[in-house]
A and B are shown apart, each in its own frame.
Chain A
Amino acid sequence: MLKSHVLKAFAVAALFTTALAGPVDAASDKSAFRMIVGEPRYMDPNLAADFAIYVNAQLFQPLARTDKDGNLVLLQAKSIELAPDGRTWKIALNPDYKWSNGQPVTAADWVYSWKRILDPKTGSETASFLSDVENAMDYNKGTLTDAEKVGIKATGEYTFEVVTALPAPQFRAKLALPYLTPVPKAVVEEFGEKWVAPEHMLSNGPYKLVSRVNDQSIVMEANPHYGGQKPAIPRIEMTIASGDQCTAQLRAYEADEIDFTTCVPSQDIARIRGDADLGKQLDPFALAATEWVQFDMRQAPWNDKRVRHALALVIDRQAIVTAVSDGTNRIATTIVPESIPGSNTADALKGSIEDAKKLLADAGFPDGKGLPQFTISTTSTRERPLIAQLLQQMWADNLGIQANINVLEANAFRAWVQTRKTEKYDIMINGWWSDYADPANWFGDLVTADPRQNHFTNEAFAEIVKKADAETDPAKRAELYRQANKILEEEQPMTALQNPTDLWMVKPDVQGLAHEGVLNMYHIGEAAFK
């Protein structure tokens, strides 16, 4: 009797729960391309510097793209010409390209946008991409307040000019950067930071923003006024993930909720590759990027080349690549990736473990004795803590030296790296992803500008890079960079470990989704459902 009452109550509660849950959603139709992305920090193309550029690239389009051989493929530009002075880039726009409300994209929009990037009040990370432009950095740093003096000027309704401070051959590749798009001047001036709201935003690319719910969803639809090839897929539905996006993407992909993933969690790579169906949907792309271990070149014993060489020679790169990516990343023996002009894998450091032991003994640390205990610092993301553990083990086993590991949360690590400008450290793991396919992005932006605080100073190297930066003959330029590469590898301020590989997965009914450029952009507007 009593039991039956209790059971009744239980049944009612269970029924209530089921009713609360409601029906399962029906799968959406195939008119929309579905994917999961991280929350874009900025939808404003003048501010977007992280993975938000991949979302923005569906909405905003730059002047051109670079093909595999470094040639410009024009999009929004009708022509791009370099004047005989080697500094003045004359850009004519294609008037067919319009904003998503049908109004023309004018030279005024482009000039306004690029100057807005440089405006210190904007506070944009992307300002460094315009650093070659005359007076750009003075204006950006606030030492020059007159924006008119910056070398970006409209010369007509659909023509504008960019003047670089020095002849800058690498600026050709930068003109195709996805960071350098126009913004609708009138709309930005009217609505300020809120111009990116769906009700205000105008875009010049294949899609327009239809709705955005922060941390929840982004919906885009084909821009009816787009001047290029009209998208075959009329709608994009993005769901926003935070934290471990790769896991969320893979689960949703396997449940057929999305059409495309941009990464696979490292622990799932072997399973996916081994699966007959999923393995075929895997679409790897070798990135022009390198992850390495670097030394504080100002500190003993790391300023001793023999110590750096000894540590570098005992690293088993295959073991690292296998552990972190099931062998899908590639072994990197030199810092500058093979696809970048000026790189040369023949410059890679060579030697045996015996050689390494001898070098360490020559430096005053026989069998590792006397070498003070040191610390390997790393960010907590990208499997880097695992790489640190492997290095720690390899150095202990082969050289008898002891390292501690210091793992820092991503943001704290970035801040820590910046304070290494003045403070000392031992060893850190770091990486660089090509922004544009030009050696200046490596030898100049990475090594000379030293944002990673490696403190590598070598006069011969600096001289060659300076010469190469201003050399307009591509063959001579590449040869100069090859000389610089030789010095870089011989000095070994950084020891290359691996070149990461992006692992996309694309559903079999999607075709034409191509990897574009060194940043591995995707353009849904160029894909179609079978």
Chain B
Amino acid sequence: MLSFLIKRILSAIPTLLIAYTLVFFIAHATPGSPWDSGGNRPIEPSIKAVLDAKYNLDKPLYVQYTSYLWNALRGDFGPSYRDRTQSVNDIVARFLPVSLKLGAAAMLLAVLLGLPLGALAALTRHPAVDGLIRMISTLGISMPTYVVTSILIVSLGVGLGLVPTFGWKGLFTASSLVPIFSLALAPLAAVIRCFRTSMLEVMNLDFVRTARAKGMKPLPIIIHHMGRNALIPAITVAGSYAAYVLVGSFFVESIAGIPGFGRYFVLAIAARDYPVIIGTTLIYAVIVVVINLLVDLSYFLLDPRARLEQGR
């Protein structure tokens, strides 16, 4: 297992390097400069030159490429051009936790609701229950988050006045309801579908029938024998959603007014805020790598065969 871990961590290095290289050159190749995003009036070319010099944008691209990389390796992701009083590190420290909290709550909701609902859909003989659950999962997968968020705000906020239409007051307030549910819907749907399918698959396998024949109670069978085996595909799916839910969705955060990482990332692109674009992409990449690693590690805990294969 240790050698597996080391191998995976080493293989993450070229992945991150490729991500950095791509985002660096794409960001710089996008038309428009950080100094074009102000108001009505074009800025004097001489002033642009001063600003370029201040932020080393007058240096050749390869020099910028290596110096940014060197600083990033030492943990300094540079200044923000959009807001000159902040560094990228400040921005990550301020915005990432908001997205992480919302994303974690959404993933928790998706898993806690998705597993029982998926199991219920697989085990029930009632077509209406199965149909209802399948409808939820189809809606969740097919409805884009910006539609879900807008519908929830207009109905619950503007219409019923149950939740605020906009803004962020903290995780344990009504202001987090709409974003959590919007974020949770897609992973919830995926977990339901996946868990339902794999529960159906294991339902009639020999070891389940043996357990039943031994006279075990239904719930321990579902949890220990069926659930544990059916969990692996569901965890893979949840893991792939976790990476995208945890770093925050631009749509959900913009529409619901959440000062999160996803929203800031897209605003940075609009403002051509190169250090922020690159820094946030790198952090995003690290999160994806780490979550994939965690998903793979979870196989060891759940599936004895994975442990065996690795042991050989």
Contact = CB atoms under 8 A, between A and B. Distances in A.
Contacts of A194: 85
A354 interface: no
Contact of A248 (B47, B162, B166, B174): B166
A9 B116 contact: yes
Nearest to B35: A123
A10 B105 contact: no
B116 A255 contact: no
B83 to A, nearest CB: 7
A251 to B, nearest CB: 4
Interface in B6-57: 30-33, 35-44, 46-48, 50-51, 54
Interface stretch (A22-30, A83-91, A306-314, A399-407): A22-30
Contact of B157 (A5, A21, A50, A251): A251
Given A49-B38, A120-B50, A239-B257, A415 B158 contact: no
B30 A24 contact: no
Given A215-B259, A254-B158, A411 B120 contact: no
B120 to A, nearest CB: 5
A6 B123 contact: yes
B230 to A, nearest CB: 14
Interface residues of B, number: 73
B46 A120 contact: yes
Contact of A244 (B31, B254, B264): B254
A451 B116 CA distance: 62
Nearest to A10: B116
Contact of A2 (B84, B161, B222, B272): B222
Nearest to B264: A215
B43 A257 contact: no
A260 to B, nearest CB: 14
B33 A140 contact: no
Interface residues of A, number: 71
Interface in A185-214: 193-194, 196-197, 213-214
Given A120-B47, A141-B46, A412 B257 contact: no
A121 B50 CA distance: 6
A449 to B, nearest CB: 10
Given A6-B123, A411-B36, A257 B165 contact: yes
A280 interface: no
B168 interface: yes
B127 interface: no
A255 B176 contact: no
A412 B43 CA distance: 15
B263 A125 contact: no
Given A10-B117, A257-B165, A414 B154 contact: no
B213 interface: no
Interface of A: 1-3, 5-7, 9-10, 13-14, 16-17, 20-25, 36, 39, 41-42, 49-50, 120-121, 123-125, 127-128, 140-142, 193-194, 196-197, 213-217, 239-244, 247-248, 251-252, 254-257, 408-412, 414-418, 432-433, 435, 451
Closest 8 pairs between A and B when the two form their complex, measured CB to CB: A415-B32, A49-B39, A50-B39, A411-B32, A243-B254, A216-B259, A2-B218, A24-B174
